[in-house]
Amino acid sequence: MNFEVNKRINLILCILILNLILTSCGSKGRGNWLKEHHGKLNIEDINDFFGLEILDDELEGKNIILSGEIHGVAANQKLEGKLIRYIKGKTNFKYLLEEISYSGAYFINKYLETGDIEILKDVFNAWQGTYAYTKDKFKLYEELYEYNQSLPEEDRIILVGVDIEHQPKLSFDYIKDILPEEESPEKIETVINDLKHKNSVYYEDILDSLNNNREIYMDYLGDDYIGFSLVVENMKNSRIAYDARDENWNQVRDEMMYNNFEILDDNLDDGIYFGQWGMQHIFQEEFDDVDWFASRINNTEKYKGKILSINFWYDDCKQMDPSGVEYDLSFGDEMIKYHNSIGGDVNLYKLVGKDSPYNNENLNMVEGKEIVDIFQYIIVISGSEASTILEL
């Protein structure tokens, strides 16, 4: 079965489970709660923050804020741009934590530093055939560059990519870009020369050299050692994850992304993270037999209780898959009925809080947990068009 079809089926099953959770208990009090704890959002104006103020109480004391989308919907990146600006203004977050590889984030950071649009185009050309290859995402980064330029240099946003290395071209382009110009030590000379002068090298050969000569690589690469070792390791991880794609893709990949985050978090200056990911990755507890990315982080001593998750919900929307095919996307659950009765194309709903009826929505598959242990807010999007494939 096609991998993208597999992913879509898994997502639909996940949505069906969530629908059952949100409608499993009595509806008494839910409608009133949502009416009293919602904000109508204008996603056409990136600087109109009206309605987002209901996030404020829960932002306090949080070190990681995550929003979760279903990829391929045009409204997603409009919301992402708005959330970046609002949450930056409230928390001065430092890191944009992204579901992209370390090498991809490296080059986008280079674009954000220089404004060289050719760098951004090269990254997106490598992303052809993925959900990221859209006009919407490209525009988001262009707007992020402009926004960063308006900030003091010390407050500018830095991308952090923790995914596996899906695109070998980006991986090798990164390695070539960071290798020192001077000659390498003799013990690693053959591999380094191959990396400098060939278009591809077996990652197994690089890993063998790295594992046998780590101190030499540390001295030779200096500050780039961590990135180099992550990229090479995640070239291997990509192969492992794709080999498991028909059976255990989510579990394997999310564990790898968590491990990458842990390494980078240990080596970065302290700072708050914000990121917009695929919906399931932001779940803060094990769900649908997967220990998701945010769940793993939430189970650490450092970040327990310091994550905020905002889940996107869709009504009468269109979704584009990486090949350009469009699908109808509607959840059609009780949450949507409340949303339609309240009115508004894009509304933010707070689920967590004193006296919230969602505090009692028990998850049978996660004993002793409530829906607000998984995510704390929902943004319902009505009537969005699908994303548009980029043309460069």
Are the CB atoms for 161 and 98 separated by under 8 Å?
yes
Average pLDDT, the chain: 92
Q: HSE of 209 in the Cβ direction (CA atoms, 13 Å)?
A: 24
The confidence score (pLDDT) of residue 10 equals 62
Does the structure show a pLDDT above 90 at 24? no
The confidence score (pLDDT) of residue 232 equals 97
Does the structure show a pLDDT above 80 at 27? no
Does the structure show a pLDDT above 50 at 26? no
pLDDT digits (tens, 9 = 90+) for 320-356: 999 999 999 998 777 888 899 999 999 999 999 988 8
Residue whose entry in the numeric block shows the structure tokens 């889940």 = 311
Element containing residue 378 per DSSP (H, E): strand 377-382
Q: Are strands 95-101 and 158-163 parallel, antiparallel or unpaired?
A: parallel
Closest to 310 (Cα-Cα) out of 131, 94, 54: 54
Task: Please report, rounded to a whole number, the percentage of residues in the chain having pLDDT higher than 90.
Answer: 81
Sequence-ordered alpha helix ranges (H) in 280-357: 293-298, 334-342
Q: Which domains does the chain have, with CATH numbers?
A: 1-89+272-392 (3.40.1660.10), 94-271 (no CATH)
Closest to 30 (Cα-Cα) out of 371, 331, 303: 371
The confidence score (pLDDT) of residue 29 equals 74
pLDDT digits (tens, 9 = 90+) for 181-228: 999 999 999 999 999 998 778 999 999 999 999 999 999 999 999 999
- 101: helix, coil or strand? strand
2 pLDDT band (50/70/90 cuts)? very low
What predicted TM-score, i.e. pTM, was given to this entire model? Answer: 0.94
Are the CB atoms for 269 and 94 separated by under 8 Å?
yes
Q: What is the dihedral angle through the alpha carbons of 177, 179, 181, 182, rounded to the nearest 10 degrees?
A: 180
pLDDT digits (tens, 9 = 90+) for 34-52: 999 999 999 999 999 999 9
pLDDT digits (tens, 9 = 90+) for 276-323: 999 999 999 998 889 999 999 999 999 999 999 999 999 999 999 999
